[in-house]
Amino acid sequence: MGYLPRKSLQVLGSIFAVTTFNFFLFHIIPGDPLRLIARTQKLDAEQVAALRIEYGLDGSLFSQYLTYIGNLLHGDLGYSFALHEQVSTALMRALGHTALLLATSTVIVVLFGIFLGVFAGSRQGSKADSRTIIGALVFWSMPTFWVGMLLVFTFGVWWGVLPISGITTPNAVYETYFSYLMDIARHLVLPTLTLALVDIAFFVLITRTSLVEVMSEDFMLTARGKGLPRRTLVWRHGVRNALLPVMTASALYISGLVGGAIQVEVVYSWPGMGLLMYNSVLARDYAVLEAAFLVSSVVVILANFATDVLYRRLDPRVVVAQ
Amino acid sequence: MNLLEVKNLSVQYGSGQGGVLAVDGVDLSVGVGEFVGLAGESGCGKTTLAMAIPNLLPKYASITTGTIEFEGQDLSNKSESELNEVRWRDISVIFQGALNALNPVATIGNQIAEPILIHEPGTSHDAAITRAKELLEAVGISASRSSSYSHEFSGGMRQRVMIAMALACRPKLVIADEPITALDVMTQAQILELLRSLSETFNLSMLLISHDLSVLAETCDRVQIMYAGKVAEVGTADDVFGEQNSAHPYTQRLLKSYPNIHQERKFIDGIPGYPPDLSKSHAGCRFAERCTVSVEKCFTDEPELAVISELHRSACHLVGGSK
Ligand SMILES: Nc1ncnc2c1ncn2[C@@H]1O[C@H](COP(=O)(O)OP(=O)(O)OP(=O)(O)O)[C@@H](O)[C@H]1O
Ligand SMILES: [Mg+2]
């Protein structure tokens, strides 16, 4: 079997395993979902019994599991009584918002991180190198929510130049589609900046370490012996090899963020996955939490899959090892 | 005028107390089209001397004295970007231990073509690749392998790729640091033959470092023997290796400890003891302690390189040594 089909099967297998685990996790923990619904909805015993049948909660755990898988295959993740809408609808919306935030901040974090890492790593031991490391570590050690609040106060409250909450201005009327996009972009600035400031160190340090290691390899001496200009030497031979571990780190970073931009989303009321999960925990909205966990796991699996495929494109040695 | 004229060169790794003076006041010359061999025990400074020429020494190494004249220009005080003009276009290097000398993520065709594209601007990528393929063929590797990666080659093939790469810009001087050590005898002979024929076609000069004294004797016009960072003896291959000619006890012992395939292999003729610690300073001859013919003077006075015949020099108080 070819690499891609085999790997895809593995991915499907992992997703199935995660789905199953996720289901039993949520059904083993104490708490009857119907009692939660009843608490918020003022239902009488008859209605509860009807709902129990409707949601397949009357059968054994295993038959419930089969119902769950069946619904899942139809894209039905259940209904959230806390949100008064289908879980899938709420989830898709949140996922879209998170994707926008993550895509922007990841591009910035990875690109600037690599650039600064190369800047420092190719000057190993110099003042510029140690200053970059120290700078990165200082930001790295700041709590995300604290940096967020700092930026909120500075840019939002103090100078009042940037919006500090939500994804669009409430009740705004947009003349053109472009002004709508600009509004979103303005809302995006502070959350992105917060993520970037704190997380950039991760990429700076990994890139730097990796490059320093590569620079001492024998083939770098060959490249130097060829009389390559320094920039070609560093980028074509050094960075190209140093990026392999950075790529793995990027996949880790992205998958970690999908459910984990919680602090930033809460500080800026960014209506993404993090905020959704945060609110669902407060509301004990198991249906949403269960689905959100599932989606996060699937994203992690897919991100790893993408890394594997990319790695094979970047590192010719991997193909042989297969 | 010689192509390369190194005078009184000293190279130190590190500085101060822990510094290692790996090359200490060494002269070396290579004429146009000349093959010069460099031999001596492991750790005597051959690689250091060779790498100092295009200044490919690590950052913490420094040239403390001397000049390196290449075509009349002193390379020892040139900037990195000035050196880049000379590197590979005029002086290329076959690195010792070529196993990891190739970039793992670039095809070998591109790696051979790279210096051509850098040093001969205006060459198209296709033309450079074509030349890379010709070079591969010349070292006995099929041109179709030019799109392979280094991990797909055996150790000996990588060594040959390295040799092809070193010839890419038709340099004037090739510094070959044990270029054929990893190869079988047949391939060794082929490569040496190739290098010799190239030297005739392109007037190529070579500094050949090898532990294989018979290879040096066969291939080189002149040979220089180093011991503990100093030149022990230098002369034509015949001066240095000839039965009755070698004028330094160290060379004589080196020749004796070299296994002769016509005789039974013996190890008893190795040289007892070790070369001295290069991080300390020395009085007298550095070989004195291991020398079987040393006299009192050897431990107190450092011998100068004395003229024996036209090209033959030896740094021994007992010039002529013990025959
Ligand atoms: N990078 C380095 N840092 C510190 N000391 C070094 C370094 N490279 C070599 N030396 C020291 O310099 C001396 C000469 O080493 P060099 O590599 O030039 O020897 P060599 O004659 O090429 O030996 P071999 O035959 O084993 O290749 C040795 O004492 C070695 O320990
Ligand atoms: Mg060496």
Tens digit of pLDDT for each residue in A46-94? 777 777 776 666 777 788 888 888 888 888 888 887 888 888 899 999 9
Quote the CA–CA distance of A275 and A191 in Å, as a whole number.
13
At B127, list the tokens: 């033309």
Find the chain A residues whose C-beta atoms sit closer than 8 A to any C-beta of B. Answer: 217-219, 221-230, 232, 237, 240-241, 314-317, 320
Indicate the DSSP class of residue B121. Answer: T
Cα B22 from Cα B284, distance rounded (Å): 17
* Confidence tier at A234 by pLDDT (50, 70, 90): very high
If one counts every other C-beta atom within 10 angstroms of the C-beta of residue A151, the result is 20
Give chain A positions within 8 Å (CB) of B151: 316-317, 320
Are A121 and A115 spatial neighbours (Cβ–Cβ below 8 Å)?
A: no
Examine residue A306 and state whether it is found in any structural domain, yes or no.
yes
More confident residue, B52 or A284: B52
Same domain, A76 and A123: no
pLDDT at residue number B7: 96
A184 and A54: one domain?
Answer: no
Distance CA A163, CA A152 (A): 9
Is the CB of B213 within 6 Å of ligand 1? Answer: no
Q: How far is A240 from chain B (nearest CA, A)?
A: 8
- Predicted local confidence at residue B323, as pLDDT: 38
Pairing mode, if any, of strands B4-13 and B61-70? antiparallel
Report the share of chain A in percent with pLDDT over 90. Answer: 37
Question: From the candidates A222, A232, A314, A318, which should be mutated to test the interface with B, based on the most B CB atoms within 10 A?
Answer: A222
Q: Which amino acid is at B227?
A: Y
pTM confidence score: 0.83
**Measuring CA to CA, how many Å separate B239 from each of B140, B185, B220, B222, B260?**
34, 26, 12, 9, 19
Find out whether the beta carbon of B42 lies less than 6 Å from any atom of ligand 1.
yes
Question: Residue B100: which of A219, A315, A316 has the nearest Cβ?
Answer: A219
Query: CA-CA distance, B109 to A296, in Å (whole number)?
Result: 44
Decide which of A61, A86, A111 is a domain's last residue. A86
Residue range(s) defining the domain that contains residue A213: 90-314
The answer on A78 and A46 residing in a single domain is yes
The domain boundary residue, chosen from A86, A115, A147: A86
Segment A38-45 long-range contacts (CB within 8 Å, at least 24 positions apart): A40/A81, A40/A82, A41/A81
Of the candidates A1, A43, A47, A10, the residue with the CA atom closest to the CA atom of residue A301: A10
Atom of ligand 1 nearest to the CA of B23: 14
Q: How confident is the model at residue A38 (pLDDT cuts 50, 70, 90)?
A: low
CB contact (8 A) between residue A224 and residue B152: no
Residue B321: predicted pLDDT: 44
Residues 6+ apart with CB under 8 A from B20: B12, B13, B14, B278, B279
Q: Residue B291, class by beta-carbon neighbours within 10 Å (0-12 exposed, 13-18 middle, 19+ buried)?
A: buried
Task: Tell me: do A156 and A32 sit in the same domain.
Answer: no
Q: Quick check: B117 contacting A, CB < 8 Å?
A: no
- Give the lowest-confidence range in A12-26, A142-156, A304-318, B126-140: A304-318
Sign of the CA dihedral running B306, B312, B316, B318: negative
**Is A137 contained in some domain?**
yes
Instruction: Read off the CATH number of the domain in which A270 is found.
Output: 1.10.3720.10
Residues A115 and A128 in one domain: yes
Query: What is the spatial distance between Cα B180 and Cα A266, in angstroms, rounded to a whole number?
Result: 65
**Checking DSSP bridges between strand B4-13 and strand A85-86, what pairing results, if any?**
unpaired
Q: Which residues pair with B26 in a beta bridge?
A: B9
Same domain, A38 and A101: no
Phi, psi of B15 (to 5 degrees): -145, 170
- Quick one: tokens of A178? 């472009």
ipTM of model: 0.89
Per-residue confidence in pLDDT tens, chain B, 323 aa: 799 999 999 999 988 778 899 999 999 999 999 999 999 988 999 999 999 999 999 989 999 999 999 999 999 989 999 999 999 999 999 998 767 899 999 999 999 999 999 999 999 999 999 999 999 998 889 999 999 999 999 888 898 899 999 999 999 999 999 888 777 888 788 888 878 887 787 788 999 999 888 889 888 999 999 999 999 999 998 888 887 778 788 888 888 777 665 555 555 567 777 888 888 777 888 888 888 888 888 888 888 888 888 889 888 888 744 43
* B180 Cα–ligand 1 center, Å: 19
Instruction: Check residue B268 and give its pLDDT.
Output: 53
3-state secondary structure of A168: coil
Which of the listed residues A54, A86, A118 is the one where a domain comes to its end?
A86
Q: Which residues of A touch B162 (CB under 8 A)?
A: 222
Ligand 1 atom closest to Cα of B40? 21
Average pLDDT over residues A218-247: 93
Mean pLDDT of chain A: 86
Instruction: Answer yes or no: are the C-beta atoms of B86 and B18 closer than 8 Å.
Output: no
CA dihedral B82, B86, B92, B93 (to 10 degrees): -30
Q: Are residues A193 and A124 in the same domain?
A: yes
> Looking at ligand 1, which atom is closest to the CA of residue B57?
1
Q: Are residues A134 and A34 in the same domain?
A: no
User: Which pLDDT score is estimated for A40?
Assistant: 61
User: Does A296 share its domain with A281?
Assistant: yes
Closest residue in chain A to residue B52, using alpha carbons only: A225
